[in-house]
């Protein structure tokens, strides 16, 4: 019985030791922040770019500012888009070309966006060395030109930007 208790005690001690060593490995990156907000735009917001329709509007939340989107093409229920995003304090976000997938609602001009992933790959100011992944859902009403999206995700800043308190 004593041997069993000693083995159990040793097992518990080793488990606690390994857990305390492994915890920092799984800790959240201190240079990353969860972000979220909404995007409200109007289709045709600033005309066309190279013959492609655009949207223009605002972003609320953690990445608050102005957002313009060039709709570069469509393939059935997938829109290929390029973002132009400037925060309220003038920093730009470099967003890779993205695809917004969804479906038109029956007998309607409403397009439900169900799969929209955005990749941040830098920018200016505190976003100069930033990376991130965002996802969004929402809808576009092509009869009125109104679009509304809810975005969420994570942005990881360069360590210098975080140290200088720029986020």
**pLDDT at 68 (0 to 100):** 95
Under the phi-then-psi rule, with left for phi > 0, alpha for psi from -120 to 50, and beta for the rest, what region is 162? Answer: alpha
**pLDDT at 160 (0 to 100):** 57
Q: How far is 39 from 60, CA to CA, in rounded Å?
A: 6
Tokens of 23: 């915890």
For strand 110-123 and strand 92-95, is the pairing parallel, antiparallel, or unpaired? antiparallel
**pLDDT at 121 (0 to 100):** 97
The per-residue pLDDT string of the chain (167 residues; one tens digit each, 9 = 90 and over) reads 554 445 445 444 544 444 444 444 444 678 999 999 999 999 987 788 889 999 999 999 999 999 999 999 999 899 999 999 999 999 999 999 999 999 999 999 999 999 999 999 999 999 999 999 999 999 999 999 999 999 999 999 987 554 344 44
Identify whether the C-beta of residue 140 lies closer than 8 Å to the C-beta of residue 113: yes
DSSP state of 160: H
Q: How far is 73 from 71, CA to CA, in rounded Å?
A: 6
Residues 6+ positions from 32 with CB-CB distance below 8 Å: 154, 155, 156, 157
DSSP state of 90: S
DSSP state of 163: H
Query: What would the DSSP string read from start to end of 9-65?
Result: HHHHHHHHHHHHHHHHHHSPPTTEEEEEEEEEEEEEEEEEETTEEEEEEEE-GGG-E
**pLDDT at 28 (0 to 100):** 62
Task: Spell out the domains of the chain, with CATH numbers in brackets.
Answer: 32-163 (2.40.350)
């Amino acid at each position: 019985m004593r041997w069993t208790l000693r083995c159990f005690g040793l097992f518990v001690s080793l488990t606690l030791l390994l857990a305390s060593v492994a915890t920092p490995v799984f800790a959240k990156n201190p240079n990353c922040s969860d972000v979220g907000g909404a995007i409200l735009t109007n289709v045709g917001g600033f005309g066309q770019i190279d013959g492609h329709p655009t949207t223009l509007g605002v972003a609320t939340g953690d990445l608050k500012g102005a957002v313009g989107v060039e709709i570069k093409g469509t393939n059935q229920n997938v829109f290929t888009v390029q973002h132009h995003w400037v925060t309220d304090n003038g920093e730009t976000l470099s967003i890779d070309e993205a695809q917004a997938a969804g479906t038109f609602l029956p007998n309607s001009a409403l397009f439900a966006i169900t799969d929209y992933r955005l990749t941040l790959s830098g920018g200016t100011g505190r976003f100069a060395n930033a990376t991130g992944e965002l996802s969004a859902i929402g809808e576009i009403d092509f009869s009125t030109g109104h679009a509304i999206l809810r975005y969420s995700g994570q942005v990881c800043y360069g360590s210098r930007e975080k140290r200088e308190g720029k986020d």
